[in-house]
């Protein structure tokens, strides 16, 4: 019995050390050397070095003076990220969308873009389509007392063109540029 048990336990210990300790340490070391910014969370820091968010994770912005992110089914918590899993026929989904739409709707602007009403699959999508940002321009311009043309220039700077897919706007980059341009009085 020990002739079979000892090699099996030895192999289990060796593979645990290799795949559970050695390999993760090797990959982490390579990532830290080759891609330190991404390996440490793609963090956005302000002028004082304080972390203000991650370029890869949406965060909530409240108030008329900020561009709003896409809604999150997990309240922007990374641990509980995911979609709401509400079916299109579920009355709770229709109620949630109606409430969100009534808060964002401006008669002169037409219907609220769906990206401002529906959650993404992860619940943490940091980007919006340009149309969803453009819908918010008049509100933010009025709250910040900035011209819409000035804000449009900021939107164009924060717009990314991925290799595949339509252009998207980084809401965090846009709000950071907005805060540098016209900081809110505290």
The model's pLDDT over 117-173, given as tens digits with 9 standing for 90+, comes to: 888 777 788 899 999 999 999 999 999 999 999 999 999 999 999 999 999 999 988
Residue with token string 């540029």: 177
Residues facing 72 on adjacent strands: none
The model's pLDDT over 24-78, given as tens digits with 9 standing for 90+, comes to: 999 999 999 999 888 888 888 877 888 888 888 888 888 889 999 888 877 777 7
The model's pLDDT over 93-122, given as tens digits with 9 standing for 90+, comes to: 888 888 888 888 888 788 888 888 888 777
Residues facing 44 on adjacent strands: 53
Residue 159, SS3 per DSSP: strand
Confidence of residue 185 (pLDDT cuts 50, 70, 90): low
Checking 101-110 for CB contacts under 8 A at 24+ apart, the result is: 104/68, 104/135, 106/138, 106/139, 108/138, 109/135, 109/138
Contact 148, 138 (CB under 8 A): yes
What is the pLDDT at residue 16?
Answer: 95
What is the pLDDT at residue 137?
Answer: 92
The model's pLDDT over 67-90, given as tens digits with 9 standing for 90+, comes to: 998 888 777 777 766 666 777 888
Residues facing 61 on adjacent strands: none
Strands 43-45 and 127-128: unpaired
pTM exceeds 0.85: no
What is the pLDDT at residue 186?
Answer: 56
Rounded CA-CA distance 174/139 in Å is: 15
Contact 143, 65 (CB under 8 A): yes
Contact 100, 71 (CB under 8 A): yes
Encoded tokens for 51: 């972390």
């Amino acid at each position: 019995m020990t002739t079979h048990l000892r090699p099996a336990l030895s192999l289990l210990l060796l593979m645990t050390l290799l795949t559970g300790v050695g390999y993760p340490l090797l990959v982490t070391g390579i990532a830290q050397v080759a891609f330190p910014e991404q390996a440490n969370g793609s963090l956005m820091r302000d002028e004082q070095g304080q972390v203000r968010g991650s370029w890869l994770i949406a965060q909530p912005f409240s108030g008329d003076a900020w561009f709003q992110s896409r809604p999150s089914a997990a309240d922007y918590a990374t641990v509980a990220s995911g979609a709401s899993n509400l079916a299109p026929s579920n009355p709770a989904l229709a109620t949630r969308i109606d409430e969100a739409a009534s808060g964002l709707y401006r008669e002169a602007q037409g219907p609220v873009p769906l990206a401002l009403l529906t959650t993404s699959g992860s619940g943490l999508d940091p980007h919006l389509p340009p149309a969803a940002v453009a819908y918010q321009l008049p509100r933010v311009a009025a709250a910040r007392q900035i011209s819409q043309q000035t804000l449009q220039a900021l939107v164009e700077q924060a717009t990314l063109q991925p290799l595949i897919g339509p252009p998207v706007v980084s809401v965090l980059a846009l709000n950071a540029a907005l805060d540098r341009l016209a900081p809110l009085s505290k």
